[in-house]
Each structure stands twice: as C-alpha cells, then as structure tokens.
Amino acid sequence: MPPHTLTRTAGRLLIAAVAFVTVTCATNPVTGRRQLSLISESDEIALGKQASQEVEQTIGLVEDAELQAYVRRIGLAMAATSQRPSLPWTFGVVDDPTPNAFALPGGFVYVTRGMATLMSSEAELASVLGHEIGHVTAKHSVSAISQQQLAQIGLGVGGLLIPRLQRFQGLVGTGLGLLFLQHGREAEREADDLGFQYASARGYAMSEMADVFRSLERLPGSEGSALPTFLSSHPSPAERVKTIEQKAAAQPTGSRGSIVREAEYLRQVDGLVYGEDPRQGFFRDGRFLHPDLRFQFSFPRGWKGQNLKQAVLGTSANQDAALQLTIVRGAPESAAREFGETQGIRLAQTSRDDVNGLPAIVARFEAQAESGVLGGIASWISHGGRTYQLLTYTGAAALSAQDGTFRQIIDSFGPLRDQAALNVQPKRLDIVTVAERQTLSEFNRRLPSAVTIEELAVINEVTGGSAMLAQGSLVKRVVGSAAAPQLSGGRR
C-alpha cells in the first residue's frame, strides 16, 4: 500500500477512534464529571463476577456463616444509600491472614480474615467497607481498565472489533489480576471521603476510621499472600489519619456519628483464626505439610512456595522452574489422560509408578505457553481417596538440567505421619473482659498470648505494654501455638 494511502487510512482510524472515545465517555455518578469509560455497566458487573468467583475459589471464604451474614448486612446497608444502589452488591470475608480489603468492579467487596482480626469495632468495619464501596461507586477500576485498554489498543479502535469481555483479558488478566489494579493518590482520597460519607450517614463514629490506618501502619507486613497490601496506595497512612481526624472534628456536634458497637463486633470475631492456619497446610524446614489432607512433599533448596486454597505453587530461586500441586478429578489414569488431551499439551513416556507406596502415573510433557514451549514432568498420585496432580516444569530446552530436581520433588510426595504436624492447631482470637484496671503487660502476664506484646498492643489499638486497660473493657488475646510445630525425626 502506498504511503499516502497509509496516511489516509491512519487518519480515518484516528477519527473513528476519537468518535469512539467520545461516545464512551460517561458521567461519573459520584463527581458528576465526564469520565472515560470503555466498559458498560453490564461488562463491569460481568468482569467483577468472574473475578469474584476466582477469588472465592482460589483464596476461599471464611467458614463462619454468622460472621459472613454480619459483614454482608453492614455492607448492604451502606451500599443501598450510595450513588449506585442497584448494583448486585456482594460482601464477604476471605480466608487470608493479611490485613486487607478490596473491591472488584460491579460491587463485589471483600475484607480478609486478617483485617477482621485487626479491627475492633463495627464502626471500623463500616469505614473499611465504605472505602471499598467508594472505589466501586466512583468507578475507579473501570477508569483504570479503560486507561490500560486505551493504551494497548491504540485509542480504542481495536475495542470495536474484539468480542465482549475478551478485550480485557490481556490488560488485567482474569480473577486475581483485577486485584492488582493500582488506584492513584486522588482515587484513594476520594474513596476515603466516600467511605467517611457512607459510614457517617449510617451514624457510625468516624473517628474510628483513623484507628484502622494507625494499626495497619504499625503491623508488620505479611509475605506469601495472594493479595496486594492495603497500604500500597499513594497517600501515607499518617496523612490519611490526619485528614480523617480533621473531617470528624469538623462535623457539627449534633450530626457526629456515635455508633461504635465494639462489643457486638468483638463477639463476631471471638474464636476467629488468627494468622496463618496450619490446618490448611504450612511450610517447615523445606517441606510443605498438610495436616487435614495428611500429605507432605519437599521443596528444593532455595525454592519459594505459596499455599492457596486450591493449589500449592513453587518457584526456583532463579525463577526458571516451577511446580504446581492441585487435586484433580478421577483416578490417576483418567486424570493423566484428560491432561494429555488438553489443547497445546503433549504427553510422552507415560508410565505407572509407585511413589512412597502410593499408586501413581508419571509422564514427561510439553506445553505451548505465551513465553514459549515448556517442558516438565507430571505425576498423578492417589492418596486418601484423592488424586494429586503434581506438575514440575521449566523451559523445554532446560528440562534435562532440571530432570533430577523434578524427580526429587515428585519422589518426596507421601503420607504425613508425624503426630506433631497432624495435631497442630491454629492460633485464635480470645476476647476477655478485664476484671480490674491493669496495664496490657500485666494482662499478658496473667493471660499470656501467643504473639509478642508489641503485636498484642497493635491488635488492641493501644500504644504499648504500659497502656492502661479499664475494668470491664474487652481485650483481645491470641491463644494457641505460637509457631508451626517442631517436627520429630527427619524427612518421611
């Protein structure tokens, strides 16, 4: 095609693109301003629903129907008075120990178990839910996705030709990928303001909102979570605390919220698992052990692992090899056959095997991935009435160099028989009524907690061990094992 023809074509495409962007600017329901939106509300809801399903499958919900209903009731009450009351609002508590909260497009809002154990009142919960509702009502995720799509497809022209929903896949991925959309400084401030507005309208004491940010700032970060940190946004916690305190003080005396409901909230979290739940699997001395499912296997030296609800993942120190353990349907033979029939995967050298007394199928495989061809060793191992699919893989050219390591991983899978590991229990919150006025340190000496005095002070929102506890006040303590058990013997 001649250069002048290319120029005319580019010009027509640019005009079409500008027209496309113009008609896809929508009015922001919060600000009233025109906002770039390449996503319809139905698409927004569909994206959020798809992501929420993956969140619940991958991370999982806390199995506490009363707590879930409590959080849902508070969230729905605030969402009903927001600028977008007709969204299919969903609220839940996910089983992750990291203090966090997040919102998905379309009205799917979650707090983590770690956030639930950190907070101390219903007013604090309302402020956190309100903040996340604010991200949805102000369409912050919609705006972020639209900006990314605009950059990727060249002023949106490609969006006219790509089927619904599929056009977003390359931008944010699906499911958990949406959690890592970064909101800017102004978006976080706007969500803070909206959260303040929604919770305050329900009568909650918004001075409590500042306590959440103070606690988050004081608590050490957690590694291994599938979620980004709640404080990964731009405004500093100190700035946000100051702003919230100023807004709360500026409210007319007669309209200042007074609802705190500390006792009601603490009743809901009494007995809740605190920190990692070793019953769902834990790492110890280069091994992954799962007490409930009674299995274990070893990680090579230097590898890092991550334990999710439906998978155990691992990567080598050089990020050039990986493993994935999941439970799959069917017996090992049928599971291997189904894997081999997956498009883009080719099995070779399939054989029956015995892995530590467990019947298994082991095979080499190649898989076509976006980054190139992967090569690996797959195994399907029968244990406890379940079939475990253990995939070990790397670039196809590097498979021979990783062969020995992969076989060691597979050969290490076996039954967990160590009683210390089988009997391990998680730490839990225990809510105690203080019998007499005393310091936190005195309280901890009489009723020791399985966390440091510094951490105990954070979760009780006091300054330190010398802080005075009033008679009759409710105090959190943490009971149970302070760490994963010391296991007897060597590797089994």
User: Based on the domain organization, do 104 and 91 belong to the same domain?
Assistant: yes
Q: Which of 209, 237, 269 is the last residue of a domain?
A: 269
For residue 197, give Cα distances in angstroms to 113, 128, 134, 202: 25, 12, 9, 9
pLDDT in tens, 435-466: 999 999 999 999 999 999 999 999 999 999 99
Judge whether 472 lies within some domain. yes
Judge whether 295 lies within some domain. yes
Consecutive H or E run containing 392: strand 386-395
**Counting every residue, how long is the chain?**
492
Judge whether 14 lies within some domain. no
User: Based on the domain organization, do 369 and 392 belong to the same domain?
Assistant: yes
**What angle, rounded to 10 degrees, do the helices at 207-218 and 185-201 form?**
130
Question: For position 294, which CATH number holds?
Answer: 3.40.1000.10
In the prediction, which pLDDT does 340 show? 94
User: Based on the domain organization, do 129 and 51 belong to the same domain?
Assistant: yes
Judge whether 486 lies within some domain. no
User: Based on the domain organization, do 438 and 342 belong to the same domain?
Assistant: no
- For residue 168, the enclosing domain spans 34-269
* Domain total of the chain: 3
Judge whether 4 lies within some domain. no
Judge whether 404 lies within some domain. yes
Judge whether 207 lies within some domain. yes
In the prediction, which pLDDT does 79 show? 97
User: Based on the domain organization, do 75 and 131 belong to the same domain?
Assistant: yes
User: Based on the domain organization, do 118 and 193 belong to the same domain?
Assistant: yes
At 222, list the tokens: 């957690």
Q: Indicate the pTM of the whole model.
A: 0.80
Calpha distance 402→492 (Å, rounded): 23
User: Based on the domain organization, do 240 and 102 belong to the same domain?
Assistant: yes
User: Based on the domain organization, do 310 and 382 belong to the same domain?
Assistant: yes
Contact residues for 327 (Cβ-Cβ < 8 A; gap 6+): 310, 386, 387, 388, 389
In the prediction, which pLDDT does 341 show? 93
In the prediction, which pLDDT does 325 show? 97
Strands 273-274 and 427-433: antiparallel
In the prediction, which pLDDT does 208 show? 85
Three-state SS sequence of the chain: CCHHHHHHHHHHHHHHHHHHHHHCEEECCCCCCEEECCCCHHHHHHHHHHHHHHHHHHCCECCCHHHHHHHHHHHHHHHCCCCCCCCCCEEEEECCCCCCEEEECCCEEEEEHHHHHHCCCHHHHHHHHHHHHHHHHCCHHHHHHHHHHHHHHCCCHHHHCCCCCHHHHHHHCCHHHHHHCCCCHHHHHHHHHHHHHHHHHCCECCHHHHHHHHHHHHCCCCCCCCCCCCCCCCCCHHHHHHHHHHHHHHCCHHHCCCECCHHHHHHHHCCCEECCCHHHCEEECCEEEECCCCEEEECCCCCEEEECCCCEEEECCCCCEEEEEEEECCCHHHHHHHHHCCCCEEEEEEEEEEECCEEEEEEEEEEEECCEEEEEEEEEEEECCEEEEEEEEEEHHHHHHHHHHHHHHHHCCEECCCHHHHCCCCEEEEEEECCCCEEHHHHHHHCCCCCCHHHHHHHCCCCCCCCEECCCCEEEEEECCCCCCCCCCCCC
Helix (H, G, I), strand (E, B) or coil at 415: strand
User: Based on the domain organization, do 352 and 229 belong to the same domain?
Assistant: no
User: Based on the domain organization, do 155 and 249 belong to the same domain?
Assistant: yes
Q: Which of 250, 269, 288 is the last residue of a domain?
A: 269
**What angle, rounded to 10 degrees, do the helices at 140-153 and 41-58 form?**
100
CA angle 229, 233, 234 (to 5 degrees): 145
In the prediction, which pLDDT does 189 show? 86
Calpha distance 477→95 (Å, rounded): 20
- The answer to whether the beta carbons of residues 248 and 256 sit under 8 Å apart is yes
Q: Within 219-259, where are the H helices?
A: 237-250
Judge whether 3 lies within some domain. no
User: Based on the domain organization, do 80 and 112 belong to the same domain?
Assistant: yes
In the prediction, which pLDDT does 231 show? 53
User: Based on the domain organization, do 389 and 431 belong to the same domain?
Assistant: no
Per-residue pLDDT of the chain (492 residues; tens, 9 = 90+): 443 443 444 444 344 344 344 445 566 777 766 665 567 888 889 989 988 998 898 889 999 999 999 999 999 999 999 999 999 999 999 999 989 899 999 999 999 999 999 999 999 999 999 999 999 999 887 766 655 544 444 433 322 333 333 333 333 344 455 554 556 677 888 888 999 899 999 999 988 888 888 888 887 654 445 555 555 554 566 777 777 778 777 777 666 678 999 999 999 999 999 999 999 999 999 999 999 999 999 999 999 999 988 899 999 999 999 999 999 999 999 999 999 999 899 999 899 999 999 999 999 999 988 778 999 999 999 999 999 999 999 999 999 999 999 999 999 999 999 999 999 999 999 999 999 999 999 999 999 999 999 999 999 999 999 999 999 999 999 999 745 555 544 332
Q: Which of 207, 234, 269 is the last residue of a domain?
A: 269
Which position has the token pair 């959020």? 48
In the prediction, which pLDDT does 26 show? 64
In the prediction, which pLDDT does 174 show? 41
pLDDT in tens, 218-257: 876 544 455 555 555 545 667 777 777 787 777 776 666 7
